[in-house]
Structure 1
Amino acid sequence: MCLAGGALTMASCAQDDLTGEQFGSGVRNSQLVAPSADQISVTPSTDGSQQIIAWPVVDGAGGYHAVLTNVDNGEVVKDTLIDGITFAAQRIEDTNYTLALSVLDNEKLNNKGSEAVTKAFSTFTATYQVIPDGTDLATYFEENAVPDEGLTTMLCYDLQPGGEYTMSKSVDFGNKQVTLRTTSISNHAKLKLTADNVSIKTGTIFALKNLDIDASQSFDPLISLSTPDESIKGTGDYYIVRGALTINGCNITGVNNNLIYDGNKKYCYESVVINNTMAHLTLSSQTNVSGNAVIYFKGGFANTLQVSNSTIWNTGDSDSKYFVQYNNSGRATRAGYNNSNVNFLNCTFYNIAKTGQWANYGGFNGQKCSYFDVERNIFVDCGNKQVIRRILGGRSASSYDVAKTLFNTYMFDGEFESTGGIVENYDVTGNCLETDPGFKDAKNGDFTISGSAQLENKTGDPRWIKTAE
């Protein structure tokens, strides 16, 4: 059964067929009642990509109408008629949802359907503590130390949507797993660093999510790694963190120094992930960033670096030498991993390491265990017109088992690294884009694109892809 426009579809679930015996349940000539919100269960699939939504049978029902909505962006994820009692839908981490479930008429039994019952739920990890609006986080964590539970469990501290917070001095979470977040993607809490030497410090799994961070008063790295816990020392004498350092859904302004710095400790993070984030760098001559990198592992390295769906740009009075720099000894096999990854996916970069090099990680160069994936990015005035060459460590794409490139723009001072869609030896797919992306106002942080090739291939940070209504 299909309804107009394909918006509603009939989905059949083998677990419960509301025909035959079930329709003969004896419930006739009745006003049916939908299951309560508490009776509706939501269970993630094993890999977390799907959510299974189920409810108890309503005897005498003619079926059900379910509407699942992503509250954060208003998208209707699923609008479906169901003759069973369960369905599966896409699951996105850190998202708020509502389900509207109604029981349908059963004309054969003369049963009248119900009004919709609404269940609100989210895919956020459970909140550990809510920090009151107006709090200085430095004072808060001095008075409320992260408990030992954080040694093995991620503890999520929620900043209130629209709240305003400060950090008057560095906060060191050490070996405790912490997430600082807002559980609203549309109404971020605001965090302002209020001294010139403030960093957020960690030595384990850590995340910043859905925050607006003003780092303009600090000249220390935004995130700096702590003195490591000796218990995590592993292969190659690396301090190995089995998990991710994550920046997701954040708007960060006034970064005068490194975005991430390892404190010259021999860390190997399993992953460093930057996603759906805007980071406005104002790199300062009052720091040493001109001799190092935006993401700077002086003593160690990140086994996987993934930057996706993000915009990072610099308008400071200084510039970094590199976007990413690792200690040259860093290599996957030296820390017990089979392979490493450097991934840049759907990002917009502007005016970073303009006279320097995009990447410097000598231990990755030319190694079969080094994997690269560079797709649908826009690089403008970055990396001295050698972005993809430096991402691949100065070695040809054929040197690696995995070196994927697709629809990238490498533009420098109005010219392109590529010719005829190819950067010889490095991006050899033949589909490099050689038209100006047409940023609306890059110097003031508006990277809305007007370039036809970039629009057609949906490149750069997706937030800047806007089409006429």
Structure 2
Amino acid sequence: MKAKYIFKGLVAALLLVFITGSCDSYNEAVIEDLNVSREFSPIGLTARIRNQTTVELNWTLKEEDAAHYVIEFSADDPEFKTIFKTVEVTADQLPVQVALEGETVYSIRVKSVSSTGLADSKWSVTTATTLSEQIFLPVQDADIDATQITLRWTPNSTVTQITVAPGDIIHTITPEEKTTGVAIITGLTGETTYTATLLNGVKKRGVVTFKTGIDIGTGILVKPEDDLNAVIAAAPAGSVLVLMPGDYTKYTGEILLDKPITIRGLRIADKPKLHVKFTLSATATSLSLIDLELNGDKTLSEVVKYNQSGTYGKLLISGCIVHDYTGSLVYAPSTSSARIESVTVENSICTNMVTGSSGEFIDFRASYVGNINVTKSTFNNVAASRGFIRADATATFGAGLTSSLIDSCTFYGVTNTIANNAYVIFYVRFATNAAIVRNSLFVETAARYTSQATTIAPTFSNNNYYNAATLNAAVSTAAVKSDPAGTALNPQFANAANGDFTVGNQNIKDNGIGDPRWIK
């Protein structure tokens, strides 16, 4: 029995010694410095392509940064057997942008270099694929003619030839053209869309698409001193009137159209200035307005009005500058039951269209329109106190589909109101409807997309909303549909007050949001 207690006593004594020793170990100094023989590798390394062929690199910085970082690029070579480019940067240069060549998969590695004599860190690795290089400069309207074009690119670039399609045209670049970055391509056909490719050997260095100007041919040439109304009245149905640059003041006001006709400017860069509005009768089945400046002088109402019931073909407004009208861009009143194939507004700028009490910007009260297409255009202070597109219900022409497309447009102060249930982007009550909104930029508006239960929610993709919260609401409320997936970045316009909507925000530029003319 005594031996049992002696054994327990020994165990207790040993435990006491162990516990006392363990407690004493906690009194040792805390390790504040980690003895390492090399720098830590950069962490959180990211690579993003900017402007087609520039990669932007960034990584997480530690409190104690390295002296500098070494970045190595290998082209189409994941094992880094051949280093294409080496760059050294410091922490305060992050994020860093590095220009590369186009259409290439780059392996990228970054290491830290010590300022205290430690060995370099191990490499952190990522990859990035550049897009097609673009050293072509934007095509200027003044450089486009009917049968030739002047193309420009970054001077002194390494380039060998330009190919143009259709037509399989090959232009060999001369030493002088290489130095100046300018070449004239001839042998083109009027009113044709071409794609030009700038090459260095077989490597693509730029691509640009353009449409040649009008070759008058059988068109009717009109001069500024002519009476435009009289010329239109005398022209046969289906005529193409080609207007020389200038201010057309011999006739101003309403033009009554009773035939299909095309009215267009001769030169894209010098648009003829008209002070008219167009009212269509049932026999004016189609109308094209191309490369014109249309000025309402703050007195003229609707730009285009369908005044009679009937069946119409296509309405095209292309490459136009439209401003200072007091009514709609396109209007069909409730007294007109028209069936219209399509309405297309493209590559145009509409400014200060104060529709007031007259109606919505594109407004159909008792008519059916198959397609409303609004693309690559800018709308600045238009229908600020009214809706943008209106298509009321009508059973006159059966139950066809009316569809709307908004693509690559910039909206500033459009439909900036919630004063009435009808004042929305899509006031569409036609029984069968569909809408798409993509690649578009909405700024400074209280607008809602919809207000009617019968309006199908639009299909949205790649849009941005700045100070346009209702369009971008996280959750749609009843009939008020919204685009929660859209971003809400400040586009950083160059000078919105004076109509310069050039985008400064790099993310918006990278994503191609808005009217392309402002993405530079």
- 2:329 counterpart letter in structure 1: L
* Cα distance between partner residues in 2 of 1:207 and 1:191: 14
- Is the 8 Å Cα contact of residues 370 and 400 (structure 2) preserved in structure 1? no
* Cα distance between partner residues in 2 of 1:70 and 1:436: 41
* Cα distance between partner residues in 2 of 1:71 and 1:416: 47
Q: CA deviation at 1:428?
A: 8.1
Change (3 A) 1:394 1:451: farther
Q: CA deviation at 1:423?
A: 5.5
The residue that corresponds to 2:439 in the other structure is 376
Q: Structure 1: which 5+ residue stretches go unaligned?
A: 7-67, 82-86, 91-97, 103-115, 229-238, 398-402
* Cα distance between partner residues in 1 of 2:341 and 2:361: 19
Residue from 325, 328, 337 that aligns with 2:390: 325
- Is the 8 Å Cα contact of residues 345 and 374 (structure 2) preserved in structure 1? yes
The residue that corresponds to 1:226 in the other structure is 307
The residue that corresponds to 1:139 in the other structure is 230
TM-score normalised by length of structure 2: 0.55
- Is the 8 Å Cα contact of residues 191 and 214 (structure 1) preserved in structure 2? yes
The residue that corresponds to 2:344 in the other structure is 273
Q: Deviations over 1:409-460 (max 9, x none)?
A: 23446x464356x757987886411212222322321212223332221111
* Cα distance between partner residues in 1 of 2:393 and 2:150: 42
Greater Cα shift, 429-438 or 116-125: 116-125
- The alignment's C-alpha RMSD in Å is 3.7
- Is the 8 Å Cα contact of residues 148 and 186 (structure 2) preserved in structure 1? no
Change (3 A) 1:283 1:411: same
Higher alpha-carbon Rg = 2
Q: Deviations over 1:99-143 (max 9, x none)?
A: 6779xxxxxxxxxxxxx994242125854311123223123334x
* Cα distance between partner residues in 1 of 2:307 and 2:456: 36
Q: CA deviation at 1:200?
A: 4.7
- Whether 1:181 and 2:264 are equivalent positions in the alignment is yes
Give the 3-state SS of the residue equivalent to 2:229 in structure 1: helix
- Is the 8 Å Cα contact of residues 100 and 118 (structure 1) preserved in structure 2? no
- 1:262 counterpart letter in structure 2: A
- Is the 8 Å Cα contact of residues 293 and 323 (structure 1) preserved in structure 2? yes
Change (3 A) 1:393 1:177: farther
- Is the 8 Å Cα contact of residues 258 and 294 (structure 1) preserved in structure 2? yes
- Whether 1:437 and 2:491 are equivalent positions in the alignment is yes
Q: Structure 2: which 5+ residue stretches go unaligned?
A: 1-100, 103-144, 154-159, 173-183, 192-213, 418-422
Q: CA deviation at 1:396?
A: 5.8
Change (3 A) 1:327 1:220: same
- 1:185 counterpart letter in structure 2: I
Q: CA deviation at 1:377?
A: 0.8
- Whether 1:130 and 2:221 are equivalent positions in the alignment is yes
Question: How do 1:99-110 residues align onto structure 2 when only pairs under 5 Å count?
Answer: none
Percent of pairs with identical residues: 20
Residue from 319, 322, 327 that aligns with 1:252: 322
Change (3 A) 1:127 1:69: closer
Change (3 A) 1:313 1:127: farther
Give the 3-state SS of the residue equivalent to 2:242 in structure 1: strand
- Is the 8 Å Cα contact of residues 268 and 291 (structure 2) preserved in structure 1? yes
The residue that corresponds to 2:311 in the other structure is 240
- 2:498 counterpart letter in structure 1: N
Residue from 152, 159, 165 that aligns with 2:243: 159
* Cα distance between partner residues in 1 of 2:147 and 2:517: 18
Change (3 A) 1:183 1:140: closer
Q: CA deviation at 1:350?
A: 1.7
Residue from 400, 410, 415 that aligns with 1:353: 415
The residue that corresponds to 1:362 in the other structure is 429
- 2:513 counterpart letter in structure 1: T
Give the 3-state SS of the residue equivalent to 2:426 in structure 1: strand
* Cα distance between partner residues in 1 of 2:466 and 2:453: 19
* Cα distance between partner residues in 2 of 1:252 and 1:441: 19
Q: CA deviation at 1:379?
A: 1.6
The residue that corresponds to 2:256 in the other structure is 172
Q: CA deviation at 1:343?
A: 0.2
- 1:155 counterpart letter in structure 2: S
Q: CA deviation at 1:254?
A: 0.9
Give the 3-state SS of the residue equivalent to 1:453 in structure 2: helix
TM-score normalised by length of structure 1: 0.61
- Equivalenced residue count is 329
- Is the 8 Å Cα contact of residues 406 and 440 (structure 2) preserved in structure 1? yes
Residue from 143, 154, 166 that aligns with 1:89: 166
* Cα distance between partner residues in 1 of 2:307 and 2:444: 33
Q: CA deviation at 1:464?
A: 0.9
The residue that corresponds to 1:340 in the other structure is 402
- 1:278 counterpart letter in structure 2: I
* Cα distance between partner residues in 2 of 1:428 and 1:219: 34
- 1:277 counterpart letter in structure 2: S
- Whether 1:190 and 2:273 are equivalent positions in the alignment is yes
Question: How do 1:110-121 residues align onto structure 2 when only pairs under 5 Å count?
Answer: 118-121=186-189
